[in-house]
Amino acid sequence: MARSTRESILTAAAELMRSRGYAAVAMKDVAAASGAPIGSLYHHFPGGKLQIAREALVNAGVAYGQLIPTLMAPHDDLGVAIEAAFGQAAEDMAATGFANMCPVASVAAETADTVPELRETTAGIFTGWLDGGADYFRSRGLAPDAARDLIVALVGALEGAFVLARTLRSTEPLLVAGRALADGHRGVPLTAQPRLPLDDVANASS
Amino acid sequence: MARSTRESILTAAAELMRSRGYAAVAMKDVAAASGAPIGSLYHHFPGGKLQIAREALVNAGVAYGQLIPTLMAPHDDLGVAIEAAFGQAAEDMAATGFANMCPVASVAAETADTVPELRETTAGIFTGWLDGGADYFRSRGLAPDAARDLIVALVGALEGAFVLARTLRSTEPLLVAGRALADGHRGVPLTAQPRLPLDDVANASS
DNA sequence: GTCTATACCATGATAGAC
DNA sequence: GTCTATCATGGTATAGAC
């Protein structure tokens, strides 16, 4: 998966932030989890912890940005697609012992008021998801405004349900959120169109 | 507002956790914000930082648990009530410069995998919200299962939209989430019944 | 590019005078 | 019950040998 030292540091950091957020992750932990000694972290990332976090979040953000279109792809009814996507998320979460699937929201909630660089980074990732998702739904036949509202509601409901599910150790919040959102969209057709969404998230790894 | 030293410590801690989460809040900061010296924190809370966090979260959780019923109270159409509640949340958030309204979700996301005592505390708070909210909606005429699903979807959508709104510094996620959830419930009547929901959150200040 | 040793600082927590 | 001084620890980051 991650071959170079640089990559293994980033994946280790993303993994740790996924379950601990930002402040509670120590450089020592990243070093141990990646197998690289502390000095190597600062060799590859002169910007220190902040730079590692930003790059790790952007990487994870791009990966998760593909997720919603991927889950929607096999369906041609919007309501069915939404419910299936949340059902899949619930299965994944239960299978991983209720570890959060994505570090972006945790770090965003923790640092939006205190670490401007991380707020900007997470905001860029969210914006990429929303723009990419809206483009995707438009490419499958939805009206521009409907596509935008749908992806905003979807991402918000998903992130909120994740927090509840993780804390309560239950899939109920994900399943209920999926049903609630699906109810408003049953019978809406998704046209077949294999266009991939763009990922214009990357503006943090400079 | 908070007169005793104990109370001022708890409100200061809740305020700090609201914007920084748990790990990034230092006891020194709580002391400074509350006006009490460090020694007093440990005098009133022998359990240290963890005890302060738990009690502060429970206090904040009870307060926020009142919020949804309060916002729903003046309406008699469920769809209208939902949209108004999210609109009110959006206004409050914009008015406070996009500071998160509630420390529970931030701390829950950050500590669900790492600090068992805080996961239990936040889970208890969430459970109180869900049980209390379901009771409230039942008291206003909804079927038991519908009431439960509604409050789960509502709390999840609200928490997720908060994270997005705070990070993007925009009210759009709250407004869109409110509209999306309201759409499935327009025309559903809320019966007039002035019963207050129970708060059975408290099991952490032992 | 890898790795160790270490500087320097902030942290949670305590002891004990008042 | 209030407040100060301080401890031990763990944090980020750096220096410099290899």
Q: Tell me the per-residue pLDDT of A134-145, one tens digit each, with 9 for 90 and over.
A: 999 999 999 999
A109 and B112 within 8 Å at the Cβ level: the answer is: no
A19 and B114 within 8 Å at the Cβ level: the answer is: yes
Chain A residues in contact with B184 by the CB 8 A cut-off are: 180, 183-184
Task: Please state whether strand D lies within 7 Å of residue B187 at its CB atom.
Answer: no
pLDDT per 10-residue tile (average), chain A, 206 residues: 86 97 98 98 98 98 94 97 98 93 94 97 98 98 98 98 98 98 96 64 43
Chain B residues in contact with A161 by the CB 8 A cut-off are: 156, 160
- Domain(s) of CATH 1.10.10.60: residues in chain A: 5-56
Task: Please state whether strand C lies within 7 Å of residue A36 at its CB atom.
Answer: yes
Strand C, nucleotides covered by protein (CB < 7 Å): 1-6, 10-16
Chain A residues in contact with B113 by the CB 8 A cut-off are: 19-20, 99-100, 166
Residues pairing with A77 in the sheet: A189
Question: What's the pLDDT score for residue B202?
Answer: 44
Positive or negative, the Cα torsion across B129, B135, B137, B139? negative
Q: What is the pLDDT along chain B (206 residues), one digit of tens a residue?
A: 557 999 999 999 999 999 999 999 999 999 999 999 999 999 999 999 999 999 999 999 999 999 999 999 999 999 999 999 999 999 999 999 998 879 999 999 999 999 999 999 999 999 999 999 999 999 999 999 999 999 999 999 999 999 999 999 999 999 999 999 999 999 999 999 765 555 554 444 43
Question: What's the pLDDT score for residue B194?
Answer: 62
Task: Please state whether strand C lies within 7 Å of residue B28 at its CB atom.
Answer: yes
Residues pairing with B189 in the sheet: B77
Closest CA to B142 of B130, B133, B153, B129: B133
- Give A42-58 pLDDT, tens digit per residue: 999 999 999 999 999 99
Contacts of residue B112, defined as CB under 8 A and 6 or more positions apart, other chains included, come to A19, A98, A100, A166, A167, B118, B119, B122
Question: What's the pLDDT score for residue A55?
Answer: 98
Q: Could you give phi then psi for residue B114, rounded to 5 degrees?
A: -125, -30
- Domain(s) of CATH 1.10.10: residues in chain B: 5-59
**CATH classification of A66-183, choosing from 1.10.2020.10, 2.40.170.20, 1.10.357.10, 1.20.210.10?**
1.10.357.10
Closest CA to A197 of A62, A103, A107, A98: A62
3-state DSSP percent of chain B in helix, strand and coil, to 5: 70, 0, 30
Specify the residue for token string 């008015």. Answer: B95
Chain B residues in contact with A109 by the CB 8 A cut-off are: 21, 100, 105-106, 109-110, 163, 166-167
A176 and B163 within 8 Å at the Cβ level: the answer is: no
Tokens at B164, concatenated: 């997005």
Dihedral class, residue A97 (left if φ above 0, else alpha if ψ from -120 to 50, else beta)? left
Which amino acid, A155?
V
Closest CA to B20 of A119, A161, A55: A119
CA A38 – CA A28 distance, rounded (Å): 7
CA B200 – CA B198 distance, rounded (Å): 6
DSSP letter (8 states) at residue B73: T
Residue B187 CA, nucleotide C9 C1', distance (Å): 61
Task: Please state whether strand D lies within 7 Å of residue A97 at its CB atom.
Answer: no
Q: Which nucleotide is nearest to B44 (CA to C1')?
A: D1
Chain B residues in contact with A183 by the CB 8 A cut-off are: 184
Residues pairing with A189 in the sheet: A77
Q: Which nucleotide is nearest to B25 (CA to C1')?
A: C11
Nearest CA in chain B to A166: B112
Q: Could you give phi then psi for residue B37, rounded to 5 degrees?
A: -75, 160
The answer to whether domain A5-56 has CATH 3.40.640.10 is no
Scored b (16 or more CB within 10 A) or e, B19-30 reads bbbbbbbeeeeb
Residues 12-41 of A with CB under 7 A from strand D: 25-29, 38-39
DSSP letter (8 states) at residue A77: B
- Domain(s) of CATH 1.10.357.10: residues in chain A: 66-183
Tokens at B203, concatenated: 């099991």
Residue B30 CA, nucleotide D1 C1', distance (Å): 18
Question: What's the pLDDT score for residue A100?
Answer: 79
Question: What's the pLDDT score for residue B3?
Answer: 76
Q: Which nucleotide is nearest to A42 (CA to C1')?
A: D13
Question: What's the pLDDT score for residue B201?
Answer: 47
First to last CA, chain B: 24
**CATH classification of B5-59, choosing from 1.10.4160, 1.20.950, 1.10.3470, 1.10.10?**
1.10.10
Question: What's the pLDDT score for residue A81?
Answer: 98
Question: What's the pLDDT score for residue B33?
Answer: 98
Question: What's the pLDDT score for residue B181?
Answer: 97
B108 and A184 within 8 Å at the Cβ level: the answer is: no
Q: Could you give phi then psi for residue B189, rounded to 5 degrees?
A: -80, 145
Which amino acid, B158?
L
Closest-CA distance, B96 to chain A, in angstroms, reads 12
Task: Please state whether strand C lies within 7 Å of residue B29 at its CB atom.
Answer: yes
Nearest CA in chain A to B119: A167
